[in-house]
Amino acid sequence: MPTKADFDRISDRLAEQAIELPSWAFGNSGTRFRVFSQPGVPRDPFEKIADAAQVHKHTGLAPTVALHIPWDKVDSYGDLRKHAEDHGVGLGTINSNTFQDEDYKLGSVTHVDDRIRQKAIDHHFECIDVMNETGSRDLKIWLADGTNYPGQDDMRGRQDRLADSLAKIYERIGENQRLVLEYKFFEPAFYHTDVPDWGTSYAQVAALGDRAVVCLDTGHHAPGTNIEFIVMQLLRLGKLGSFDFNSRFYADDDLIVGAADPFQLFRILVEVVRGGGYGKDSDVAFMLDQCHNIEDKIPGQIRSVLNVQEMTARALLVDRDRLGAAQRAGNVLEAHEILNDAFYTDVRPFLAEWRESRGLPADPMKAYAESGYGATIAADRVGGNQAGWGA
């Protein structure tokens, strides 16, 4: 079993961790049945950033915030950037949105109508303009494109139009920027989606060039999928650009990462570490893509980044030398046990000490609860329109 001394050996590596928060996690959200509102929810992107900064303040783990355009449209991105910096965080990935416009009912960048397709491409150009002002590296594209019925449209034609549209968008991104293409196997289209899996995303980004990579959203796989295999393969191919972390029981549930299946999160992080996808020398972006429908949002995000940190620590604790030796010797049970030893190590007391040694609260959940921030925003943010999907 790994010990405290083993933890001390990996503790410097934990300081390399950075997890980007989604601005939309702080707005109201729900299911198709009901969006619940909460007191104190931000009314604009500035308040979302202020809330996200609380997560970083108490954990030291979340230095940047991803924006969603048009949800986070503001008059001056320079002002928003300055506001973020004043709160101790930065602006991160820009997410495009081609799923809330009547024109996109039958598709956006895959649409058969050139006018609509160009409109979707132009939206991405607008996102790149925003990136240039926010200083963002990544343009993340998740598409709702697909069909509901066999025969509804020509899947091959859509794939060709997708390739053509992505090429136009890719041409626009800067030397230090990346196009990150996310996949999802269903919803809102149910017969087929145009980027359903890592293979399609890989094929599309590989055709574009080095600055095009894949986003793996953990919730976007069929039940039982071996996600860590996909992580391994994309890292091996040099095409894993980013993670959208969350967890799911059934579908795209967007629940707190590590809540449904902590062992799966561990296995994913083991492959991340194994494949060089973790830390300051890696370009792989760790992000959350979650919505807190029934629980408090800021502590929900704090819990989430702590879950990632805990599983990262356990993944770093895997005794690689012994594991390699057991694997080479064909010692199946020992190899399995070595991996499980790291998983079953309770790193929480070690992490509490580690945080304190870095001037952070030992228990960030408690520190946030005691800070009174939740009560303050509930009292202050009266009037105006609370942010939510589409706001």
User: Under the rule (CB under 6 A), what is the footprint of ligand PSV?
Assistant: 95, 142, 182, 184, 217, 244, 252, 289
Nearer to Mn ion, 7 or 245 (CB): 245
Tell me which of Mn ion, ligand PSV, none is bound by residue 20, counting a contact when its beta carbon lies within the kind-specific cut-off of 5 to 8 angstroms: none
Tell me which of ligand PSV, Mn ion, none is bound by residue 72, counting a contact when its beta carbon lies within the kind-specific cut-off of 5 to 8 angstroms: none
Reference 310, options 5, 6, 7, 3; nearest CA is 7
Q: How far is the CB of 140 from Mn ion (least distance, A)?
A: 8
Nearer to Mn ion, 91 or 351 (CB): 91
Reference 305, options 323, 286, 318, 319; nearest CA is 286
Nearer to ligand PSV, 24 or 368 (CB): 24
Nearer to Mn ion, 47 or 289 (CB): 289
Tell me which of Mn ion, ligand PSV, none is bound by residue 95, counting a contact when its beta carbon lies within the kind-specific cut-off of 5 to 8 angstroms: ligand PSV
Tell me which of Mn ion, ligand PSV, none is bound by residue 194, counting a contact when its beta carbon lies within the kind-specific cut-off of 5 to 8 angstroms: none
- Pairwise CA distance, residues 252 & 38, whole Å: 22
Residue found under tokens 């992000």: 287
Nearer to ligand PSV, 51 or 217 (CB): 217
Nearer to ligand PSV, 16 or 187 (CB): 187
Q: How far is the CB of 270 from ligand PSV (least distance, A)?
A: 23
Tell me which of ligand PSV, Mn ion, none is bound by residue 161, counting a contact when its beta carbon lies within the kind-specific cut-off of 5 to 8 angstroms: none
Nearer to Mn ion, 138 or 153 (CB): 138
Residues that bind Mn ion (CB under 5 A): 217, 244, 289
Tell me which of Mn ion, ligand PSV, none is bound by residue 252, counting a contact when its beta carbon lies within the kind-specific cut-off of 5 to 8 angstroms: ligand PSV
Q: How far is the CB of 17 from Mn ion (least distance, A)?
A: 20
Tell me which of Mn ion, ligand PSV, none is bound by residue 57, counting a contact when its beta carbon lies within the kind-specific cut-off of 5 to 8 angstroms: none
Q: How far is the CB of 111 from ligand PSV (least distance, A)?
A: 18
Nearer to ligand PSV, 81 or 184 (CB): 184
Q: How far is the CB of 320 from ligand PSV (least distance, A)?
A: 32
Q: How far is the CB of 145 from ligand PSV (least distance, A)?
A: 12
Closest-approach residue to ligand PSV (CB): 142
* Other CB atoms within 10 A of residue 324 CB: 12
Q: How far is the CB of 345 from ligand PSV (least distance, A)?
A: 31
Nearer to ligand PSV, 11 or 29 (CB): 29
* Other CB atoms within 10 A of residue 33 CB: 5
Do residues 146 and 193 touch, judged by C-beta distance below 8 A? yes
Nearer to ligand PSV, 197 or 252 (CB): 252
Q: How far is the CB of 295 from ligand PSV (least distance, A)?
A: 18
Do residues 301 and 21 touch, judged by C-beta distance below 8 A? yes
Q: How far is the CB of 17 from ligand PSV (least distance, A)?
A: 21
Q: How far is the CB of 348 from Mn ion (least distance, A)?
A: 28
Angle at which helix 297-316 crosses helix 373-380, to 10 degrees, equals 150
- Pairwise CA distance, residues 116 & 104, whole Å: 7
Tell me which of ligand PSV, Mn ion, none is bound by residue 47, counting a contact when its beta carbon lies within the kind-specific cut-off of 5 to 8 angstroms: none
